[in-house]
């Protein structure tokens, strides 16, 4: 363990996942004296990639949807340091759901909609009506399921949107808040015009902006996998990063915070800072912050999360009968007896994820639908997955590569009331000057969301530090004035 020269910093960030690393990297760029404390030996948190036998295995997240400026700006600022890979467009556009024991393509254009067996004629008519007719939305913070039923009818809710929710949140649509989980859909829902008109107008606006400023669109990853991004940020933080350094508890002191740490499991130093950024998962936040802000911790503990298992299964190409011509498939609530949540066809999206002559399936299990699965053995999980996929994907042999990754506390669930809860947390935080909470349990779970929140926090902190320094300088100048005056007076009386 390298020696820690200074334990007092202008800003301390706890947690070196994408949230903490982005915040620290941005602060360092702004010339702020910052350091990061990370409990694990490796950085990246959920963003972990492993190379094995020619396969590129994403153990946590698989790709990033570039939605807004902060993530794109981060990539631009890293320049040649990182090679961004865009997902295959044809694969990204062909998505399937399991319906009546077979895979059905999700309609992505009007012709698809007419011909799809996914919806009955009545279900299609209801969908079209919901797209063109304006409805008064309910004023409640509705669940995604309620809002979809209200606007598009039960078939779209059960057969399509429930699948989307297990795919993104590993949870059921009836458990999730529309305004917290899908804020842009909530925005469309509250518009008085037809959603179709709104979406077309927005698409035009986005296209116009894209021509001028957007470099990447849609789904991206990196040549070395998603784990490359945290590694690059960590390398650029250099001596400002302390790994194997776990924050145990936090204490409020005059104008700041003290953080007691352990290093590689043994006793560690106590750090001191005015500006503390907590960028750890919600359970860790509630643990370390318990003595300082118990009322905030109670709110954080009340946010549930679902566990998730990611299985990477590699097969010889000749042993997979299905062409895997798309992004993969998800399992809606109507097929909930199927034991998987969904399967991504990894090398169809990013070709370099499997060696030639091989295919890579990325299987999701567990979630709030099957929480019991997180405790199953690797063998049980692999057996369940292979049995479920044998006929569906035409598998004729066992996998040549198996990787099982369990995430017991994977995805925070934003239930109805989440937006109000976060507003309360933000209000309570005002009693703790210099304390900042970032991470996926507050304002968006995606990597893009985490980068946006972290970048915003970093620029607020940098601005605050700058303003404080300026006001100190101003103060010092004022303080010097009387002394200077006295000195002048003394010199003139002696002469
Ligand atoms: C299986 C899975 C699949 C996902 N798929 C996608 C996807 O495809 N696309 C997407 O955009 N998002 C996806 N997500 C969500 C996204 O990956 C996460 O929301 C995001 O990476 C969280 O980043 P974070 O930095 O906030 O937290 P984390 O990644 O959890 O990082 C927190 C860090 O804090 C450290 N830490 C914890 N306690 C302490 C302590 N006491 N002291 C010091 N350090 C501590 C941890 O070791 C960790 O490094 C997925 C998530 C999971 C789990």
pLDDT tens profile 286-315: 999 999 999 999 999 999 999 999 999 999
Report residue 193's pLDDT band, with 50, 70 and 90 as the boundaries: low
CA 417 – CA 414 distance, rounded (Å) = 8
For residue range 126-173, list pLDDT tens digits in order.
999 888 876 666 668 899 999 999 999 999 999 999 999 999 999 999
Residue 278 in contact with residue 435, Cβ under 8 Å?
Answer: yes
Give Rg (Cα) of the chain. Answer: 26
pLDDT at residue number 138 = 64
* Helix, strand, coil in percent for the chain, rounding step 5: 45, 25, 30
For residue range 379-433, list pLDDT tens digits in order.
999 999 999 999 999 999 999 999 999 999 889 999 999 999 999 999 999 999 9
Q: Is 61 in the pocket of ligand 1 (CB under 6 A)?
A: yes
pLDDT (average), residues 248-276: 94
Mean pLDDT of the residues in the chain: 92
- 4: pLDDT strictly greater than 80: no
pLDDT (average), residues 34-38: 98
Residue 274 in contact with residue 58, Cβ under 8 Å?
Answer: no
Q: Is 366 in the pocket of ligand 1 (CB under 6 A)?
A: no
For residue range 330-361, list pLDDT tens digits in order.
999 999 999 999 999 999 999 999 999 999 99
- 494: pLDDT strictly greater than 50: no
Residue 123 in contact with residue 101, Cβ under 8 Å?
Answer: no
Concatenated DSSP letters of 282-326: HHHHHHHTTTT-HHHHHHHHTS-EEEEEEEEEEEEGGGB-S---S
Question: What is the widest separation between alpha-carbon atoms in the chain?
Answer: 105
Cα distance between the two ends of the chain: 62
The secondary structure of residue 258, as a DSSP letter, is E
CA 195 – CA 160 distance, rounded (Å) = 17
pLDDT (average), residues 52-58: 98
Residue 177 in contact with residue 414, Cβ under 8 Å?
Answer: yes
pLDDT (average), residues 266-285: 95
Name the CATH code of domain 107-212 (choices 1.10.3110.10, 1.10.167.10, 1.10.1740.10, 3.40.50.300). Answer: 1.10.3110.10
**The pTM is what?**
0.93
Residue 306 in contact with residue 368, Cβ under 8 Å?
Answer: yes
pLDDT at residue number 240 = 95
Residue ranges of the domains in the chain? 8-45+226-302+415-460, 107-212, 305-412
pLDDT at residue number 336 = 95
Q: Tell me how far the alpha carbon of residue 432 lies from the centroid of ligand 1, in angstroms.
A: 25
Q: Which of 414, 99, 100, 429 is nearest to 252 (CA)?
A: 429
Share of the chain above pLDDT 90, in %: 79
Q: Which of 133, 148, 138 is nearest to 198 (CA)?
A: 133
Report residue 455's pLDDT band, with 50, 70 and 90 as the boundaries: very high
Mutate to test the pocket of ligand 1, among 61, 233, 250 (most ligand atoms within 8 A of CB): 61
Q: Enumerate residues 6+ apart whose C-beta is below 8 A from 455.
A: 22, 23, 26, 70, 73, 74
Report residue 324's pLDDT band, with 50, 70 and 90 as the boundaries: very high
pLDDT at residue number 226 = 98
Q: Which residue has the tokens 């694990």?
A: 40
- 491: pLDDT strictly greater than 60: no
pLDDT (average), residues 471-477: 75
Give the architecture-level CATH label for domain 305-412: Alpha-Beta Complex (3.90)
Mutate to test the pocket of ligand 1, among 46, 374, 407 (most ligand atoms within 8 A of CB): 46
Looking at per-residue pLDDT, the higher value among 75 and 1 belongs to 75
Dihedral pair phi/psi, residue 87, rounded to 5°: -70, 150
CATH number of 8-45+226-302+415-460: 3.50.50.60
Q: Tell me how far the alpha carbon of residue 408 lies from the centroid of ligand 1, in angstroms.
A: 12
Distances from the Cα of 188 to the Cαs of 138, 147, 195, 200, 318, in angstroms?
13, 12, 6, 11, 45
Residue 258 in contact with residue 271, Cβ under 8 Å?
Answer: yes
Q: What residues are paired with 222 via a beta bridge?
A: 84
Report residue 235's pLDDT band, with 50, 70 and 90 as the boundaries: very high
């Amino acid at each position: 363990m390298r020696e820690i020269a200074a334990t007092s910093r202008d800003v301390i960030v706890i947690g070196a996942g994408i949230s903490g690393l982005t915040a620290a990297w941005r602060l360092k760029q702004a010339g702020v004296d910052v350091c990061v404390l990370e409990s694990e030996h490796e950085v990246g948190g959920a963003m972990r990639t492993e190379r094995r036998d020619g396969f590129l295995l994403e153990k946590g997240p698989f790709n990033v949807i570039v939605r807004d400026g902060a993530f794109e700006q981060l990539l631009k600022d890293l320049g040649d340091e990182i090679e961004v890979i865009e997902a295959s467009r044809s694969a990204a556009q062909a998505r399937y759901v399991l319906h009546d024991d077979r895979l059905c393509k999700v309609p992505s254009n009007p012709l698809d909609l007419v011909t799809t067996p996914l919806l009955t004629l009545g279900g299609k008519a209801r969908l079209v009506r919901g797209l063109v007719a304006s409805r008064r939305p309910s004023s409640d913070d509705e669940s995604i399921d309620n809002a979809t039923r209200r606007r598009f009818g039960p078939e779209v809710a059960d057969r399509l949107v429930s699948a989307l929710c297990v795919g993104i949140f590993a949870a059921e649509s009836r458990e999730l808040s529309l305004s917290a989980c899908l804020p842009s859909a909530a925005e469309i829902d509250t518009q008085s015009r037809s959603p179709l008109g709104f979406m077309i107008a927005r698409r035009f606006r986005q296209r116009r902006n894209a021509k001028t400023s957007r470099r990447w669109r849609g789904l991206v990853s990196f040549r070395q996998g998603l784990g490359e991004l945290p590694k690059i940020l960590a390398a650029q933080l250099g001596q400002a990063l302390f790994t194997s350094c776990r924050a145990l508890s936090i204490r409020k002191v005059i104008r700041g915070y003290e953080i007691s740490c352990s290093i590689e499991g043994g006793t560690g130093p106590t750090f001191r800072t005015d500006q503390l950024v907590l960028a750890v998962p919600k359970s860790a936040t509630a643990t370390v912050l318990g003595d300082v802000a118990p009322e905030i911790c109670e709110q954080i503990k009340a946010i549930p999360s679902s566990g998730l298992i990611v299985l990477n299964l590699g097969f010889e190409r000749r042993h997979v009968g299905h062409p895997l011509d798309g992004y993969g498939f998800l399992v809606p609530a109507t097929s909930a007896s199927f034991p998987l949540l969904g399967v991504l066809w990894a090398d169809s999206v990013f070709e370099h994820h499997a060696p030639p002559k091989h295919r890579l399936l990325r299987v999701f299990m567990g979630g709030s639908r099957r929480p019991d699965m997180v405790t199953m053995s690797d063998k049980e999980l692999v057996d369940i997955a292979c049995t479920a996929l044998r006929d569906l994907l035409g598998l004729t042999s066992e996998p040549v590569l198996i990787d099982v990754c369990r995430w017991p506390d994977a995805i925070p669930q934003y239930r109805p009331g989440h937006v109000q809860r976060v507003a309360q947390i933000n209000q309570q935080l005002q009693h703790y000057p210099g304390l900042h909470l970032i991470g996926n349990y507050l304002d968006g779970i995606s990597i893009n969301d985490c980068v946006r929140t972290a970048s915003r926090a970093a620029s607020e902190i940098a601005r605050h530090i700058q303003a404080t320094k300026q006001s100190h300088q101003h103060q010092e100048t004022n303080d010097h004035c009387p002394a200077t005056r006295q000195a002048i007076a003394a010199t003139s009386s002696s002469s």
